[in-house]
Every structure is written in C-alpha cells, then in structure tokens.
Amino acid sequence: MNPRAQSQPRRFAFTATGLLASASVVQADEGGMSFWLPGEFGSFAAAPAAPGWSLPVLNYYADVDEDTDKYFPRGGRVTAGVSDFTWLLFVSPTYTFPAPVLGGQAAVSLGGALGSTHLHIGATLSGPAGSVLTGSETDSLTGVSDLYPLFTLKWNRGVHNWMAYTMWGAPVGDYDVDRLANLGTNHWSADFGGGYTYLDQKLGQEFSAALGFTYNFENHDTNYRNGVDVHLDIAASKIVSPKFHVGVVGYAYQQVSGDSGSGAVLGSFKSKVFGFGPQAGWFFEVGREKWYLNLKGFYEWGSENRPEGWNVWLTLAIPLTETKQ
C-alpha cells in the first residue's frame, strides 16, 4: 500500500473527531448535565490529518430521564422527575497547519450548534424566589449553543499516535435564568486532556482512547459552580475494507470535586454516568475527495445525580482543501 493511500483514513477520521470534540453541553451544569458531553472523541481521535480546511457536520439526538424521587438544581430552582429530548446540529470549521509545531501536527477549530430541547419535569420543589411549588411543568427552546474553540496537537510514530488538546466553552448561547430549558451554560469552561490511537491498517485494527479534565467557572446568575470532572472516551473498530469500518464505542464520566457556591443547595452533587454502544464508518468519494460518514449510539447506565438514557451521533466530515494529486 502506498503512503498516500494509507494517509486517507487518517485524514477524514480526524475531521470527524474534530467535530465531536466541539459538541458539548445540552443544559446548564446545575441541571445535571456537564459542559463535556461524554462520547465526544471516537475512533481515530489521535490520528494525524492532511493540512488544510475541513468541515465536520454533526446531528446529535439524546433522550434522557430520571425518576421523580431524584432532584436537580436548575436555574435557581430544585426540580424532580426530569425528562428531556434534545436535537443539535453542530458545525465545526477546522484548520490543520502544514508546518510542524513542537514536532507534531497542530489544528484549531471553532464549533457551535443550532438546536432544540424539550424539557418536562414532574415537580418544582422550590422556585427562584424561594416559593414552594407543585405539579408538572414543560419548557421548550429552539436556539443556538455556546461556542467551543478547540486546539489539538498530534504526534505519529508508525501505528502509534498521541494527542494533547484543550477546549474552552464561551457562554454566548441562549440562556435565561428563569427558564427550565437552555442551550447555553452561562459560564466559561475549560477542558484539558490527551489521547492515543493505535491504527494498523494492514491488520485492519484500530483502538482510540481520550482522557480529559474539565474546570468550570461560576454561573453568576445562579451563584453555582460545577465541580471538576474526569471523562474517558474509548472506541475500537475493525477496518473491513478501505471504505468501511465497524466497532464499538464507550465512555465513563465521573465528577471528582463537588459543586459549590450559594446556589448549590443540594450540596456537592457529584455526578457520574457510563455509556456503551455500536458504531460504523464509511469513506466515500465526492469528485476527487473522500468524505466520511460515521454513525454511533450509546446506551447509558449507572448514573448518579444526572439523567440517563440514550444518544445517537451522525457525523459527516467534508474536506474543503483540495487534495494534491
């Protein structure tokens, strides 16, 4: 196999994972959801890319709920019996630099989403003004998310690939402290971590893992600061042919320090969740370029202080810089 043919899966797999690292929060942290959306990194996460521009596009669907005896702080309220369906369409323009940086390959991207969320709660135990309420309530919102700048640095040594990254959350999305449903966090967040990919195309084997830590700043409208969390995303696949691979994906999320601030009326409220499911990826030609389509899904279990359910990711990676022949 010639070197150029070998580089193609790495290139388009990178554009896919570049988007997944920008698909973040569905609700504010105090609602039981984190800035980091578990499962963001997938197959080929640390594999290098071809220089130039690319445009990953992601459709994300999630359906989560929690029993009525589980309580969540949300927008200055304490609610119970959360049920939420969310759809997001993310785009993440990505540029990969041609010149090496610290002996590796650097890339930057800026992600954001248009989407909608429909939230139902079984009861509101206390309102923003301290009032005690009962009964169910529903809220829906269609709008835009926060912005998520991402920087990655990757190194390749044969079948071994390493990555360091940092991602930030800029609170510019739709948020209203008096609403139950929000698409923005209303606070800054910073995430740092690294990853590894084993990619042997001759044997048709691939394995990726990414570990990261998130630090959250305070939401000044609710005086709430989410604690530090650690998250692990894993993926493994069998490369069936140069155009197709199948495999599994999984994640683990654990909050390692408690929530704080005067708005943290439920105490440290540490959360965790696990997820596992199938995936499939397809490389196909459009003109002289190879595009990449990936479908993966997760079933969640073992959650604490966080709704659980299922989520599906459909990603299309589009190269924008023409490949040199």
CA angle 35, 36, 41 (to 5 degrees): 155
Once rounded to an integer, what is the mean pLDDT over residues 89-96? 96
Per-residue pLDDT of 119-139, as tens digits, reads 888 777 765 555 555 677 888
- The total number of structural domains in the chain stands at 1
Q: 58 versus 265: which is more confidently predicted?
A: 58
Which three-class secondary structure state does DSSP give residue 29? helix
Q: Residue 222: inside a domain, yes or no?
A: yes
Length of the chain (residues)? 325
Once rounded to an integer, what is the mean pLDDT over residues 289-310? 93
Mean pLDDT of the chain: 86
| Token pair recorded at residue 21 | 């690292």
| Token pair recorded at residue 163 | 């990555």
The answer to whether 149 and 113 are in contact (CB under 8 A) is no
Q: What is the pLDDT of residue 10?
A: 46
Q: What is the pLDDT of residue 2?
A: 34
Q: Residue 276: inside a domain, yes or no?
A: yes
Q: Residue 325: inside a domain, yes or no?
A: no
Q: What is the pLDDT of residue 49?
A: 87
Q: Residue 305: inside a domain, yes or no?
A: yes
Which residues, other chains included, contact 8 with Cβ-Cβ below 8 Å and sequence gap of 6+? 242, 283, 290
Q: Residue 154: inside a domain, yes or no?
A: yes
Q: What is the pLDDT of residue 33?
A: 64
| Token pair recorded at residue 6 | 């070998």
CA angle 232, 238, 241 (to 5 degrees): 140
Q: 120 versus 294: which is more confidently predicted?
A: 294
CATH code of the domain in which 75 resides: 2.40.160.40
Give me the residues paired with residue 216 across strands: 189
Q: Residue 140: inside a domain, yes or no?
A: yes
Chain centroid to Cα 278, Å, comes to: 17
Q: What is the pLDDT of residue 7?
A: 41
pTM, 2 dp: 0.88
Query: Which of 120, 115, 118, 119 lies closest to 142 in space, CA to CA?
Result: 115
Once rounded to an integer, what is the mean pLDDT over residues 227-246? 96
Q: What is the pLDDT of residue 132?
A: 56
Q: Would you say residue 24 has pLDDT above 50?
A: no
Q: Would you say residue 238 has pLDDT above 90?
A: yes
Per-residue pLDDT of 185-231, as tens digits, reads 999 999 999 999 999 989 999 999 999 999 999 999 989 999 999 99
Q: Would you say residue 67 has pLDDT above 90?
A: no
- Cα separation, 108 vs 95, in Å, equals 5
Q: What is the percent of the chain with per-residue pLDDT over 90, rounded to a whole number?
A: 66
Once rounded to an integer, what is the mean pLDDT over residues 245-253? 97
Q: Residue 76: inside a domain, yes or no?
A: yes
Q: Would you say residue 110 has pLDDT above 60?
A: yes
Q: What is the pLDDT of residue 131?
A: 55
Which three-class secondary structure state does DSSP give residue 18? helix
Q: Would you say residue 167 has pLDDT above 90?
A: yes
Once rounded to an integer, what is the mean pLDDT over residues 2-14? 41
Q: Residue 324: inside a domain, yes or no?
A: no
Work out the pLDDT band at 77, boundaries 50, 70, 90: confident
Q: Would you say residue 17 has pLDDT above 50?
A: no
Range of the domain at 36: 3-319
Work out the pLDDT band at 29, boundaries 50, 70, 90: low
Once rounded to an integer, what is the mean pLDDT over residues 80-89? 89
For residue 84, give Cα distances in angstroms to 140, 158, 306, 307. 9, 44, 12, 9
Q: What is the pLDDT of residue 35?
A: 85
Q: What is the pLDDT of residue 70?
A: 78
Work out the pLDDT band at 5, boundaries 50, 70, 90: very low
User: Which helix (H) or strand (E) element contains residue 7?
Assistant: helix 3-20
